[in-house]
Amino acid sequence: MIYESIVQSALPGLPPQVRSAVLAQHPQIKSEMERITVSTLALSEHPRTLGASADDPSTKYRSPQSQAIVSGLLKIRDGKQNEAIPVTNITLSQAVESAWLYFFLGVLAPARIGVEMAPNVFDLSGAVIPELGFPSYSMLLTIGFAVFRLGLTQLYSAISESILDNCMARVTPEQKALAGKPSEDVVYDIPIHPIIAGIADQLALADSETCTPIGDLTLARIVGRVSDAAQQQAPDAAAKRRIQAQTKQVLRQMKSVRIPHNLIPADPADWSTVETMGSYIGGAIPYVGGAPLDILIGLGHNLGTGADLGATVPMTELTVTKSLTATYFTYYLSVHLFTEIGSALVDPIRAGDALLISPFRIIGNALNVPLVYGLVTYHDVVRSMCLREDDTTGTGLGAEKDKRDPAAPSTASSTAPRRQTVGR
């Protein structure tokens, strides 16, 4: 628990008088913190605390927002969305993951958008800086923030893994039992839309050995699954037959189309640290930086793994990850071309001594937001989760089976009340 961890870590290094004062106030502070509760959905969980191992997809393919979505869906699936957790019961891992999530959403993501927008609003000259003999202020700002962002991400990862790999030396069985435990007296009333609840009931945490990630499934499997769901909702037998016939036609057409799948650049999530850093810094290079450079890096990654760029597969065998990656780079390149061509045709608008507005570049930056924080997040989620029906252990838990008792299956219903609701 975070409170107990802080107290136990701080006490040995405090002067005797200060230590005595802290111990004297300890019961009162703890009592007050026990009265304060937060929703379990407001806390982000590291995949390893859910049962994933270091080589499971959910540990590798994650961002602050996708990690929060994955843990939230699993809680909704198990009917835990109304749980209220006392602040004293929040674990150190939950605190670190949640703090990073809100720092990312509240500070880092807006700062990134601001840094990308600034050169297109303020007159940051593209000429070489005379005092430094260095490229423009715009390039310096972009490179500096890229290094800062990557450094913060690496620092967070190191802290997060360190917390999971170490233990508290003085923790009682009672304290261990209370870690992450919800309140017995308070629950929240958080309505979940039936569509979200229905999706959550079908999902589990992906396991590299026993539960194939959704991202690795083929498009034929996805089409077949959508068809099965539509047939279940068909009003009569005739409608069901029409859906079956249409599904066969779609699959037949997809099978006739062959895709050079290795010409789809590698997903940036699969890049090495050097490739990622090259993309960050290279983004400051005019015209080439951004989509064109990232496509070259992605193709270079494919070649580095020995992929045959001329190999093709039927569209039915194309994986979800490959299709989402192709969508990502298509959108990314389209926005890049729109921005560069539009900026070449329309001169910036001067709106004052310091303001030099580039309309197409501002629009281009805005169009990139749903790509970076929408499609990429969705891709991380589908690579981190699997379908419960694909779990070969039969538990429907995926990677969570390593933490939970397989003999106690998870609850599919998310509507049954567990305790009396007394507050929000």
Count Cβ atoms below 10 Å from residue 143 Cβ, excluding itself: 18
Which pLDDT score is estimated for 42? Answer: 92
Q: Which long-range contacts (CB under 8 A, 24 or more apart) does 142-147 make?
A: 142/115, 142/116, 142/283, 142/284, 143/280, 143/281, 143/284, 145/111, 145/112, 145/115, 146/277, 146/280, 146/281, 146/283, 146/284, 147/280, 147/281
Q: Where are the domains of the chain?
A: 2-27+36-217+319-402
Q: How many CA atoms lie within 13 A of 319 on its CB side?
A: 17
**What is the reported pLDDT for 165?**
75
**pLDDT number for residue 253:** 95
Place of tokens 């008792």: 405
Non-local CB neighbours of 163 within 8 Å, separated by 6+ positions: 92, 93, 96
Q: What is the mean pLDDT of each run of 10 residues along the chain (424 residues)?
A: 53 59 59 78 92 91 93 94 88 88 90 77 53 58 78 85 67 60 84 93 94 96 93 90 94 95 95 89 81 95 94 95 96 93 76 65 88 94 95 91 59 38 36
- How far apart CA 161 and CA 53 sit, in angstroms, is 12
Q: What's the number of CA atoms in the CB half-sphere (13 Å) around residue 40?
A: 26
pLDDT at 407: 47
Q: What pLDDT does residue 111 have?
A: 86
Residue 137, Ramachandran bin (φ over 0: left; ψ between -120 and 50: alpha; else beta) = alpha
Residue 422 has a pLDDT of 37
Is residue 258 within 8 Å of 294, Cβ to Cβ? Answer: no
